[in-house]
A and B are shown apart, each in its own frame.
Chain A
Amino acid sequence: MKTSAPVSEQALADKLNDLPPLPVLAMEILGSFDDPQMDVDTLAKHITNDQVLAARALRIANSPFYGLSGRVTSIGDAIVILGFRAVRSLMLSAAMVDSVNRIGNGGGDPRIFWRHSVAVALFARGLARYTGENPDAAFTAGLLHDMGRVVLEACFPDQYRAVFRWLEANDRPLREAERAVLGIDHAMAGALLARKWGLPATIVDAIGRHHAPDQGPPMPLTDICHCADILARALELDGRPRPLVPPMSDGAWVRVGPDWASLRGLLQEVEWDHEETCHALIP
């Protein structure tokens, strides 16, 4: 059932030019992940200078998730108490959530969208321990993996409503509906925006191939994002009305290599942390 004209990649790329850019601070934080010479003091100063984001970070640091209610009154305190890596990670997460929210809401209930994204982020961070990937980068990739949904809804609202009508008539994964109606899917759209924003190539790839990790050379972060998405959907932490686990890649599972005994612990860990993380991150 094709209900509207397909969208070309060029049309999408043109639309991306109208979307807000990624804040400079978020780029600085992202760039610091793999920089052993990172100047902690400078980055901390930049964080403090972004008053809106700094206030948000303090709210998160004082949330029940960190158990520091009322004890963190400045970014400096937060760095001392939580450690620089934790502060950097929560600042980036807050900046990313704000950046995606400035674009739109994904064509549905924004709460469902973010609850799923947070679940994938938590699973990705947990799975990173099996492959040795940077857990902060994995969390970020998980948090952003579906941002293409927001892009498509914001750029092509009428066509995207047709995607949901297609889904009402067909019990199939969202990606299939997007391809049937639009000719492109949210993974592709998300990767295009991630590249435009200058995100690291590994995160761009994870966003672009999280449903198809075998279409191209194996990439650890992409495999992690795929498995994290599967696990998040299996636990139904987002509350979507017609839940489903999307098609699984055996290859990605084998490459990530989680042992089943510890995976059971990860399910419990994520289910336990999910509510508080959502409370902290979702505005």
Chain B
Amino acid sequence: MASRLIPIAEAAPDAILGDALTDPAGRVLLPAGTRLHAALLESLQRRGVAFLPVVVTEDMPAGEGPQAEDVARHVDYLFRLAGQGELVDKLRSLVLAHRLKNPRPGMAPRKS
């Protein structure tokens, strides 16, 4: 099944997971093939799930999820006033790695 990562707010109530949904520790919360419903979506949102890997449908082209360069640009924007130095760079890298693995809504590219 081809899947695409979409913000949970945009997931249709009857969408199907194309990949397993895992928590940050890698534990499977819902297996691939799970059909979503309103109560399940609400529960996932309460748990802080921001994106869902749903099956691609005809009117939903694959490959439109947040791209690495978009996430990197957003993290750079976040750290614009944090200062400079080795520790700031290390923290920025840590946050970028985290966000690439755990994307959140609001990661749209920012044009400067």
Q: Real complex partners, A and B?
A: yes
Tell me which residues across on chain B come within 8 A of A243, comparing CB atoms. Answer: 78, 106
Q: Is B63 an interface residue (CB 8 A)?
A: no
- What CA separation (Å) do A250 and B24 show in the bound complex? 28
Who on chain A is nearest to B25 by CB?
A: A268
- B-side interface residues, number (CB < 8 Å): 25
Residues in B64-112 with C-beta less than 8 Å from chain A = 78-83, 85, 87-88, 90-91, 94-95, 97-98, 102, 104, 106
Query: Are A235's CB and B94's CB within 8 A?
Result: no
Total contacts A to B, CB within 8 angstroms?
74
Interface of A (DSSP majority class):
helix
Tell me which residues across on chain A come within 8 A of B102, comparing CB atoms. Answer: 268, 271
Known A64-B46, A267-B98, A274-B48; contact A248-B91, beta-carbon cutoff 8 A: yes
Tell me which residues across on chain A come within 8 A of B90, comparing CB atoms. Answer: 260
- A-side interface residues, number (CB < 8 Å): 31
Residues in A230-250 with C-beta less than 8 Å from chain B = 230, 233-236, 239, 243-248, 250
- What CA separation (Å) do A228 and B47 show in the bound complex? 21
Query: Are B46's CB and A172's CB within 8 A?
Result: no
Query: Are B104's CB and A236's CB within 8 A?
Result: yes
Query: Are A230's CB and B78's CB within 8 A?
Result: no
Residues in A169-207 with C-beta less than 8 Å from chain B = 171-173
Query: Are A275's CB and B48's CB within 8 A?
Result: yes
Q: Is B14 an interface residue (CB 8 A)?
A: no
Partner among B23, B45, B82, B94 whose Cβ is within 8 Å of the Cβ of A272? B23
* Given A234-B79, A236-B106, A245-B82: 8 more A-B contacts, CB < 8 Å: A245-B79, A248-B88, A260-B94, A264-B94, A271-B48, A271-B102, A275-B45, A276-B46
Task: List the 8 shortest-distance A-B pairs measured between CB atoms, nearest first.
Answer: A268-B24, A275-B48, A245-B82, A234-B95, A267-B98, A247-B83, A245-B79, A250-B87
